[in-house]
Structure 1
């Protein structure tokens, strides 16, 4: 009896599978089209980044480290006194200096960075000019602040959806469809824009010569991509 029972169960399962095939066929989707729409906007940089550094050499590494530390401490104190300027210590490293034959260490050289950031370009520019009396400049960059980027990306989301709808309608008409259904839609930003290098009226040398140089912060492009799939309905 057990073999007959197993055979009956197998036949029942096979019949159920055959009956479900039309339902699966009905669920299959055809006339699907993948589309992309992209919208972008140029956004003015509203953050200024300056990297300064102190570098010195001495035959006594302990004395050298103490000298660099004093210079950095004074610089940090000066920077913290400036309103609206964020201060952070950057990289710091030392390395030996060898003789001509590279057999003996003749001295030690150390370099330490100080990083400044502010939305007040004039204040940071003035502070940088003052601090160049004791430090040197490693670079100046500009970027878009995270809240600013998010605000503009949120505004562009609606534009991206509108652009996607327009493309979906064009594709539907091109295929001779009577309408379309939205299968999927992904909205993504164009990715992180790295800080832009400094652009100044008379180049880097001007920063060394004047406390308040003329600065052009520039812009970066914020982009929103709308990637999706539609199903065109045929008449």
Structure 2
């Protein structure tokens, strides 16, 4: 009987202790914010290529190498344009009977510059003998990083503002429990594609508008209402 009375007296205390964690459980809220900043496309990358088709690989190789060598010679007059040799590929061309009847050799040259006008002028000269297979305008690493930092600060400020609105609605202070930051951005790739067969008659500079890219930052995380 004594043990039973002790158990009955203990039950309210145990119930109170069990209820404490539920009453003290913090309120966790997930939210996110986003911001973007413009970044000038002050870096241009282009790929030019030389192609030749025929039956003798040795002659084709000489022809393609000669075109690339001439392009490098022309590019030397533009010191602000960086040049780098790219891929060289050899493709067999098959007849209807499945036999190799000729070959095609393609060699690339990569160009890069922060001087849009200089690269535009160089491309205009190179198009008399080479094809332009790729052209991309984008922010330089320094310009992109600056825009990323500014976008991140804007996104963090927006996150804190939204957190305050939520906390004020509950009438409670808050603390940031978890936070992650991600950035992204687009590059401008003009709708331009040409081959060595589509050569320009003159050496006019290639029209090119640098424009801007939008660099975005996203902040997501959790806040805890105290």
What TM-score does the superposition give when structure 2 sets the normalisation length? Answer: 0.80
Counterpart in the other structure of 1:212? 205
Is residue 226 of structure 1 aligned with residue 219 of structure 2?
yes
Residues 29 and 183 from structure 1, CA distance in 2 versus in 1: closer, same or farther, beyond 3 angstroms?
farther
Q: Which shows bigger deviation, 124-133 or 66-75? A: 66-75
Counterpart in the other structure of 1:36? 32
Is residue 153 of structure 1 aligned with residue 145 of structure 2?
no
Residue 37 of structure 1 deviates from its aligned partner by: 1.0
Is residue 86 of structure 1 aligned with residue 78 of structure 2?
no
Is residue 189 of structure 1 aligned with residue 183 of structure 2?
yes
Which runs of at least 4 in structure 1 moved beyond 4 Å after TM superposition? Answer: none
Counterpart in the other structure of 1:140? 135
Counterpart in the other structure of 1:166? 161
Indicate conservation of the 8 Å contact 1:198/1:217, yes or no.
no
Find the residue that maps to 1:216 and give its secondary structure. coil
Indicate conservation of the 8 Å contact 1:51/1:140, yes or no.
yes
Residue 172 of structure 1 deviates from its aligned partner by: 1.2
1:54-77: per-residue Cα shift (whole Å, max 9, x none)?
Answer: 111121112211221222122123
Partner of residue 113 from structure 2, selected from 105, 110, 118: 118
Find the residue that maps to 2:65 and give its secondary structure. helix
Find the residue that maps to 1:217 and give its secondary structure. coil
1:35-60: per-residue Cα shift (whole Å, max 9, x none)?
Answer: 10111122221111221111111211
Counterpart in the other structure of 1:18? none
Unaligned runs of 5+ in 2: 1-16
Residue 207 of structure 1 deviates from its aligned partner by: 8.8
Find the residue that maps to 2:118 and give its secondary structure. helix
CA–CA distance in 2 between the matches of 1:50 and 1:222?
Answer: 22
What root-mean-square deviation, in Å, do the aligned CA atoms of Structure 1 and Structure 2 show?
2.7
Residues 40 and 179 from structure 1, CA distance in 2 versus in 1: closer, same or farther, beyond 3 angstroms?
same
Residue 145 of structure 1 deviates from its aligned partner by: 1.1
CA–CA distance in 1 between the matches of 2:199 and 2:172?
Answer: 64
CA–CA distance in 1 between the matches of 2:190 and 2:135?
Answer: 5
Find the residue that maps to 1:74 and give its secondary structure. helix
Is residue 57 of structure 1 aligned with residue 53 of structure 2?
yes
Indicate conservation of the 8 Å contact 2:89/2:106, yes or no.
yes
Residue 25 of structure 1 deviates from its aligned partner by: 4.2
Aligned residue pairs total: 205
Find the residue that maps to 1:211 and give its secondary structure. coil
Unaligned runs of 5+ in 1: 1-20
CA–CA distance in 2 between the matches of 1:46 and 1:96?
Answer: 40
CA–CA distance in 2 between the matches of 1:112 and 1:102?
Answer: 28
What TM-score does the superposition give when structure 1 sets the normalisation length? Answer: 0.77
1:174-217: per-residue Cα shift (whole Å, max 9, x none)?
Answer: 3x222111112222212x53x422268xx97x993552243222
Find the residue that maps to 2:97 and give its secondary structure. coil
